[in-house]
Amino acid sequence: MSVANKGFSQRSAWAADQPIGYLMHKALAHPELISLAAGFVDQASLPVEATRSAATALLQSPDMARAALQYGTCAGDDLLRSQILARLRAADGTNAVEPKLEQVVLTAGSNQLLFLLAEALLDPGDIVLCDAPTYFVFMGIVKNMGARAIGIASDEGGMRMDALRVELERLEATRELHKVKAIYVMSSFDNPRAVSLAPERRPQVVEIAKAFSREHLVYVIEDAAYRELRYAGSDAPSVLSHDRACDQVVYAGTFSKSFSPGVRVGFGVLPAPLAAAVLDIKGNFDFGSPHLNQRLVSEAMRLGLYEPHVALLRDVYRGKLAIMLEALDTYLAPLGARYLRPEGGLYVWVELPASVDTAVNAPLFERSVEEGVLYVPGEYFFSHESGVPRSFMRLSFGVQSGERIARGVQGLARAIERTLG
Amino acid sequence: MSVANKGFSQRSAWAADQPIGYLMHKALAHPELISLAAGFVDQASLPVEATRSAATALLQSPDMARAALQYGTCAGDDLLRSQILARLRAADGTNAVEPKLEQVVLTAGSNQLLFLLAEALLDPGDIVLCDAPTYFVFMGIVKNMGARAIGIASDEGGMRMDALRVELERLEATRELHKVKAIYVMSSFDNPRAVSLAPERRPQVVEIAKAFSREHLVYVIEDAAYRELRYAGSDAPSVLSHDRACDQVVYAGTFSKSFSPGVRVGFGVLPAPLAAAVLDIKGNFDFGSPHLNQRLVSEAMRLGLYEPHVALLRDVYRGKLAIMLEALDTYLAPLGARYLRPEGGLYVWVELPASVDTAVNAPLFERSVEEGVLYVPGEYFFSHESGVPRSFMRLSFGVQSGERIARGVQGLARAIERTLG
């Protein structure tokens, strides 16, 4: 018997055909390729010792071990939640707003928080404003809900506040402002450009969100996934720290990049009513992320193993970034490529001469594969309704060794040379 | 500034007001209560030694450790997925269908799988048929999607196939059959009654689902969360094993009950197209459940630590079940209570005399709290549109010690006596 219609939901159709699937398929089918595409973290510096010590300490005491192996709560481990708030206070300074424990929700990576936020906020047809370019998984989440991501012009200081205001005014004029549920910004070393939101724009984005919260609240979702991976310059207080009333900004963080993606603990600091709504949905989803992992991260912090690990990561990635930039200077700059020189994060955003199309179905992509390299085409990071430039690519220096990064960039240079003719 | 409307989604309203919230609030506010309500597992038998050994083995080799601490894939660890299929083959017998690796998806508990299935299948207004009574979290998930759960008469052999057929015919007559996306059955020791689907009904439910797959497939979701917790009698081949074409049945399992809820690894075996749809959504959600936890469970199995642990659990729970039944025989039977004597699972389903209302807003519930005991009112397990009997309660012998189980049942008896007047 065969029934053609599988009976899948509308959501299912919206969720399908994520562009990244093609890339992952390529990577799996050609394991010999040097992937400068994957957003994986450095393999050699994964916290084997720290995890071993934390696991040993955690499992040594039968009482602590049993607590970790039992169900936790939906919001997550209290101790880790306080440790997160303490770290946030330390990073943002003592004058900042002090969110309360009940505003903190632990998730499986910050990605889960983004999905839960989208569930809690977005109806089909709703709108989220984000950078152009922005994190493609976030755009996938928005699409998953049948909602729209509209790209806002963004420069080396992140989202342009004048462009944000103009877009909100336009949406108000076309009577679509009520559909705008959130403004999504990656405040530190964004994906794909490793650009940070300029300090003076941080209070502004909160003010603008407040000003346009007419029929309902327009939230600011501050994705700070890469905040701890800073290799130069100095940190600025979060967007969250400018939300005096604690009612407008969601702060999303994660230990996936700064500790281990396999442990996969992320978190959000949310306005209390939104935290409650997210927990209602999370209660149906998994009634709490794995307790053991939360206790592991908490224990690593308590034992003083976390900070030194982050310091080590900064050194490792600083070195890899330097290698990638040097290779780009040597091999790609002469071909007319331009790129940002980031102070943190895991990516370098490269703009090729306008005649070179980076899309998967354009010649360069296949030639790069022939030369042994994978990159992420820039088109994936732009919302289709906001115009998609074709000459960008994202290169990651996260997972590959220095030697392979350099070799990968050389392969890319050969592919570009062949494409430039 | 205050904006009354929070801008939450329709989903958010559907997800809100889960009945269990009140119970959890009570339990937290009165930690001195003996909770026969919580679905937690036995504390003393949590696998401290096994987890320690598996963690040590896993983290000893730097290469294995790093692999576990890196991102995994969206579908989950290949080795654990094969181990799951091997166990399933062993349980179902060699004549059974052999699902393929790509049909297996690892999730954070089987609950996450149920949510992802609902996302993939249910549009607002869609229908799922389930036992009356059924697992209330599953009904919450269905409600979360704006869909409807319709209860089917169910006896000591689980869902009645005659009643299922009658309801499907009725829905066909009212032109609602196209809304029916799935039939949900807990095949072993269900929640709340610890009833198993009778062996002869297992092929029947597949046949009926096939027969009514007119415009689209009607899936059978077989929730086997408690399958390994059998203390008497013998296991029957799964519903899945009767799905020769591998296109109709989803099998949901978990290591939360049989190993550790804090490690929280669950899984699904799905028809291939549905697995793909679920992975599309999971790709947006968390692109894979924590890799470390999957490797831990896999390692515990490889080291031969899993089977002995399940055997230990069976002994522990067999003893606790006997204590609960003895206390019920002594204290509740004389008051006219009737209850099933389960062969597995974590629950005893009690029916009180018709004059006693078990609802949270009826006198018995408050009196039980006064007598130091919490139970789950039976009403939570029934879909509102299918009629809600008022004299049932679910008692769990999972987390409490034998002594507290006996004391809890005595407290309950006092509360019932006071209510019977």
CB contact under 8 A, B215 and A284: no
pLDDT band at B20 (very low <50, low <70, confident <90, very high): confident
Q: Name the nearest CA neighbour of A70 among A357, A330, A334, A287.
A: A287
In the block, tokens 């995890």 appear at A51
Q: Is the pLDDT of residue A39 over 50?
A: yes
Q: Collect all residues with Cβ–Cβ distance below 8 Å to A381 and sequence separation of at least 6.
A: A133, A134, A135, A136, A139, A192, A392, A394
**Shortest CA distance from B177: residue in chain A:** A7
Whole-number average pLDDT of chain A: 94
CB contact under 8 A, B108 and A111: no
Q: Is the pLDDT of residue B4 over 70?
A: no
Q: What is the mean pLDDT of residues B154-171?
A: 98
pLDDT per position as a tens digit, B380-407: 999 987 678 999 999 999 999 999 999 9
CB contact under 8 A, B286 and A7: no
pLDDT band at A1 (very low <50, low <70, confident <90, very high): very low
Q: What is the mean pLDDT of residues A356-369?
A: 95
pLDDT per position as a tens digit, B218-248: 999 999 999 999 999 999 999 999 998 899 9
Q: Which residue has the higher pLDDT, B2 or B51?
A: B51
Pick among B1, B8, B126 to test the A interface (most A CBs inside 10 A)? B8
Q: Which residue has the higher pLDDT, A252 or A97?
A: A252
Q: Name the nearest CA neighbour of B290 among A218, A106, A25.
A: A106
CB contact under 8 A, A5 and B215: yes
Q: Is the pLDDT of residue B287 over 90?
A: no
In the block, tokens 């053991």 appear at A292
CB contact under 8 A, A108 and B66: no
Q: Name the nearest CA neighbour of B145 among A125, A143, A12.
A: A12
Report phi then psi at B267, rounded to 5. -155, 160
CB contact under 8 A, B274 and A121: no
Q: What is the mean pLDDT of residues A193-217?
A: 97
Residue A314 CA to residue A319 CA, distance in Å, equals 9
**Shortest CA distance from B272: residue in chain A:** A6
Which DSSP category does B338 fall into?
E
Chain B residue numbers touching A47 (CB-CB < 8 A): 69
Tokens describing residue B256 = 């939360």
Q: Collect all residues with Cβ–Cβ distance below 8 Å to B410 and sequence separation of at least 6.
A: B327, B331
Amino acid found at B246: C
The HSE-up count of residue A386 (CA atoms within 13 Å, CB side) is 23
pLDDT band at A38 (very low <50, low <70, confident <90, very high): confident
Report phi then psi at B272, rounded to 5. -50, -45
Tokens describing residue A218 = 């327009």
Whole-angstrom distance between the N-terminal and C-terminal Cα of chain B? 54
Q: Is the pLDDT of residue A3 over 80?
A: no
Pick among B71, B106, B179, B396 to test the A interface (most A CBs inside 10 A)? B71
CB contact under 8 A, B120 and A8: yes
CA distance, residue A269 to nearest chain B CA (Å): 17
pLDDT per position as a tens digit, B39-69: 889 999 999 999 999 999 999 999 999 999 9
CB contact under 8 A, B48 and A69: yes
- Sheet with A376-377, edge to edge strand ranges: A338-339, A347-351, A392-396, A376-377
Amino acid found at B288: G
pLDDT given for residue B38 in this prediction: 86
Question: Worst-scoring range by mean pLDDT, A378-392, A403-417, B72-86?
Answer: A378-392
In the block, tokens 């969110």 appear at A99
pLDDT per position as a tens digit, A141-185: 999 999 999 999 999 999 999 999 999 999 999 999 999 999 999
Q: Is the pLDDT of residue A398 over 80?
A: yes
**For chain A, percent of residues with pLDDT exceeding 90:** 89
Q: Which of A9, A216, A286 sits opposite B122 (nearest CB)?
A: A9
Q: What is the mean pLDDT of residues B17-30?
A: 75
Q: What is the mean pLDDT of residues A363-382?
A: 95
Q: Which of A7, A70, A214 sits opposite B181 (nearest CB)?
A: A7
Chain A residue numbers touching B124 (CB-CB < 8 A): none
Size of interface A-B (CB pairs under 8 A): 269
Q: Which helix (H) or strand (E) holds A155?
A: strand A148-155
pLDDT given for residue B2 in this prediction: 46
- Helix, coil or strand: residue A268: strand
pLDDT per position as a tens digit, A260-299: 999 999 999 999 999 999 999 999 999 899 999 999 999 9
CB contact under 8 A, B262 and A71: yes
- Helix, coil or strand: residue B350: strand
CA distance, residue B101 to nearest chain A CA (Å): 16
pLDDT band at B1 (very low <50, low <70, confident <90, very high): very low
pLDDT given for residue B26 in this prediction: 78
**ipTM, two decimals:** 0.94
Q: Is the pLDDT of residue B321 over 70?
A: yes
pLDDT per position as a tens digit, B407-417: 999 999 999 99
CB contact under 8 A, A65 and B46: yes
pLDDT band at B98 (very low <50, low <70, confident <90, very high): confident
Q: Which helix (H) or strand (E) holds B112?
A: helix B109-121
pLDDT given for residue A384 in this prediction: 81
Tokens describing residue B298 = 């896999």
Q: Which of B119, B263, B292 sits opposite A263 (nearest CB)?
A: B292
Measured CA to CA in angstroms, residue B59 lies from A51, A257, A412, B261 at distances of 8, 19, 36, 21
Could you tell me whether strands B266-269 and B104-107 are parallel, antiparallel, or unpaired per DSSP bridges? antiparallel
Q: Which helix (H) or strand (E) holds B250?
A: strand B249-254
pLDDT given for residue B174 in this prediction: 98
In the block, tokens 């919490």 appear at B374
In sequence order, the β-bridge partners of residue A180 are A127
Q: Is the pLDDT of residue A95 over 70?
A: no
Whole-number average pLDDT of chain B: 94
pLDDT given for residue B213 in this prediction: 97
CB of A27 closer than 8 Å to CB of A368: no
Tokens describing residue B96 = 């059974």
pLDDT given for residue A5 in this prediction: 76
